[in-house]
Structure 1
Amino acid sequence: MSIAYAVVTVLGALMAGFSAWALFSRQEWVVAPLTEYGVPKSWWNRLAGAKAAGAVGLLAGLAVRGIGIAAAIGLTLYFTGAVVAVLRARSYGHVLFPMLYAAPAVASLALL
């Protein structure tokens, strides 16, 4: 395992964990756009749980490679779906945010 992989993976886990916390705690800057995009409120805890699981999986992947690969793929797919949701809502000014959260997950896959 390289130092770059470890740093990028921990950064990705911190970012995904922060994003999960923000949604679990219903931070206004997170839930207002979700409402605007038409994401049902009943989905919010599941979406936050998926991000939290991805964060834990990235960290576990430092010890068990397969778990890290699965978590990175899952987070990449999650944030790709978020990009699609933002684009479908025609909220082009917000599309950068899910891309920034996806970047460490994609990078950790590339560094494996």
Structure 2
Amino acid sequence: MFIATLIVSIFLAVALTFSAVGKLTKSASVIPIMEQVGVPADKVPVLAYLEIAGAIGMLVGLFFWPIGVAAAIGVILYFVGAVIAHLRVQDAKGIGPSAFLTVVAVAALVLRLLSV
């Protein structure tokens, strides 16, 4: 079970890192989406730092399970918020990635709890 936890946690940490880098570098593919869902420009770096914290937590959580559980819960809440933001503005295209990463974060949480 721990191997599955390892794979899912690393995948999620990498996805969070790429997402954060896109936000911090003001990627042309990321910023218009942030504007569309109503995220103020000064809050985009905050979201990126939350993603970085989630990625670090997922990796540290592989060695200390309570951190992994807390990180997974935080990432779940982050992406549920993203899904809600996309639903609020009726952005059907933007829901997919957020919903997918929500499911991956739930899987990471369940696997982490099962491999304690």
TM-score range, shorter chain: over 0.9
The one-letter code matched in structure 2 to 1:61 is: G
1:29 aligned counterpart, secondary structure: coil
2:30 aligned counterpart, secondary structure: helix
List structure 1 segments (4+ residues) > 4 angstroms apart after TM superposition. none
Q: Percent identity?
A: 38
Aligned to 1:86: 86
TM-score between the two structures when normalised by the length of structure 2:
0.92
Aligned to 1:20: 20
In the alignment of these two chains, the number of paired residues is 112
1:73 aligned counterpart, secondary structure: helix
- Gaps (5+ residues) in structure 1? none
Alignment RMSD (CA, Å): 1.0
Q: 1:69 and 2:69 equivalent?
A: yes
2:29 aligned counterpart, secondary structure: helix
User: What pairs up with 1:1-112 in 2 under 5 angstroms?
Assistant: 2-111=2-111, 112=113
The one-letter code matched in structure 1 to 2:100 is: L
- Gaps (5+ residues) in structure 2? none
Distance in 1, matches of 2:93 and 2:7, equals 29
Cα deviation digits, residues 42-92 of structure 1 (max 9, x gap): 111100000000000000001110111110000000000000000001111
1:85 aligned counterpart, secondary structure: helix
